[in-house]
Amino acid sequence: MAGKILIVDDEQEVLSMLRRYFLLDGYEVITATGGQEALQKLAGMPDIILLDINMPDIDGLSLCKSIRDFVSCPILFLTANIEDSDKIKGFSVGGDDYIVKPFSIDELGARVSAHLRREKRGKHKSKVFFDNAFAIDYAERAVYFNGEEIPLLKKEFDIIEVLSQNPGQVFDKERLYEAAWGIDGLGNNSVIAEHIRKIRAKFAAAHAKQYIETVWGVGYKWQK
Amino acid sequence: MAGKILIVDDEQEVLSMLRRYFLLDGYEVITATGGQEALQKLAGMPDIILLDINMPDIDGLSLCKSIRDFVSCPILFLTANIEDSDKIKGFSVGGDDYIVKPFSIDELGARVSAHLRREKRGKHKSKVFFDNAFAIDYAERAVYFNGEEIPLLKKEFDIIEVLSQNPGQVFDKERLYEAAWGIDGLGNNSVIAEHIRKIRAKFAAAHAKQYIETVWGVGYKWQK
DNA sequence: GAAGTATGTCACTATTCATTCAAATTCTTA
DNA sequence: TAAGAATTTGAATGAATAGTGACATACTTC
């Protein structure tokens, strides 16, 4: 899940266009056609908000101001024209970013994901101990057993990352593939099996506990 | 405590927005709504000052000029429009940076913390030894091996700075670009690769250890 | 405990990504 | 503003890693 995005715009066309785009990118999308509706939809705890400035009931700037105290996620303004950007100047820095229409949808996508990445980075503490001896440092992309690093290749770490961040949760092969490879559509089942095998071999060589457990007929999980 | 920040702006909205943001980031925040008040608040010995240029009583530039002699901390200007930024260039009042509205609040935050980091570095010891022979002096922006300086170009040092200040941490190319270039959005990956190559060539020529390690499929990291 | 299905193993091939070099562009500074 | 320096780009190369398919082994159910 890329994240939950709340899009507020009074134009249905813009709204549905953006919805489609972000859905395809794997976001959960919530929409609102005006300020009032947006206020209600906030209950959904979005990770990021896209806010049109020109709206009939409440304009985006006021809305931003009034929710700022209890909403900490990034807020990106969509401004329809240059005059709006003047407004912003006067009003100044309520939001986290501004994008002037017409914008490239890909640029918008890039900025959204940049903001979410930054957000996530701040919250995430990087080194996690799973027991006295075994730790994973996600920033370093390294796995340690008794202080010794177990060297892993990229995909091996990708898999461990997904599993270990959801201990106990069973990933069937398709989900695991999607999570670690970033794309769905898994052709050959043994791709994953092969990597799992290599991981286990390395863990065994290091005398570390085998955290990856086979759930027969389903997939794999990280032992709690 | 991240530091003490004095924010001077005549617009209450801007002020409260910035206060909230920097409080969340762990700063101690002092605010002033005009030049006169700012002069009094200086007694609080801020570590950094954000100064709006357009203010009714004293404009930011004059204020900066008049306090520069007894205030050594960094001063960042907030300018509402482009003409102001020209003024600043010509004026040369001793400011350390200026940011043109509308700006992304994160960008402002990044610049503030960059200035403070630089400041801190200047006051404390700036030369760090990574082993007996290898040292980096961040204030001088110089790298030494066995007492000999390894001459580096600006961008080369920028990269080394980011990596070496987070040893062990893997930077993917986007993050590295963002950190060293100060902006996100990276089209062509080979910019970084090329600089890394040159750094390595210089290190090799000096017979120094290759501290920059490639993390295949991800990015680079500084060896601990 | 035999049959059937899911997973594990291995050697090999394909692919991806980092590096390199040369050349173009941008930035500095005199 | 021109010369020189620094940075960026693009294409070719090769090494590191990922994927494949055939076979072996293990688990499950009847």
| Boundaries of every domain in chain B | 3-122, 127-222
For chain A, helix, strand, coil in percent to 5 are 45, 25, 35
- Position B220 scores a pLDDT of 96
Rounded mean pLDDT, B132-150: 88
Mean pLDDT of chain A: 81
Q: What single-letter amino acid sits at A35?
A: G
Which CATH architecture best describes the domain B3-122? 3-Layer(aba) Sandwich (3.40)
* pLDDT for residue A89 is more than 70: no
The alpha carbon dihedral of B37, B38, B40, B46 has a sign of: positive
Higher-confidence residue of A201 and B34: namely: A201
pLDDT recorded at residue B69: 66
Instruction: Name the fold adopted by B127-222.
Output: Arc Repressor Mutant, subunit A (1.10.10)
Task: Please give the model's pTM, rounded to 2 decimal places.
Answer: 0.61
In this prediction, residue A25 carries a pLDDT of 77
Predicted confidence at residue A141, as pLDDT, reads: 92
Quote the percentage of chain B above a pLDDT of 90.
22
Residues with Cβ within 8 Å of residue A216, at least 6 apart in sequence? none
Phi first, then psi: give them for residue B8, nearest 5 degrees.
-120, 115
Instruction: Report which listed range, A11-25, A142-156, B83-97, is most confident.
Output: A142-156
Provide the pLDDT for residue A93: 42
Asked whether this chain's domains A3-123 and A127-222 adopt the same fold, the reply is no
Is the pLDDT reported for residue A88 higher than 70?
Answer: no
Give the pLDDT confidence score for residue B68 in this predicted structure. 72
Tell me the nearest-neighbour CA distance from A47 into chain B, angstroms.
16
Cα separation, B185 vs B183, in Å, equals: 7
Read off φ and ψ for residue A124, nearest 5 degrees.
Answer: -80, 120
Protein CA A112 to sugar C1' C23 (Å): 36
CB contact under 8 A, A92 and B218: no
Is the CATH number of domain A3-123 3.40.50.2300?
A: yes
Chain A interface mutation, best of B9, B169, B220, highest count of A Cβ atoms under 10 Å: B169
pLDDT of residue B91: 45
Element (H, E) at B128: strand B127-129
**A42 pLDDT more than 80:** yes
- Closest nt by CA–C1' to B197: C19
Query: Does position A91 have pLDDT exceeding 70, yes or no?
Result: no
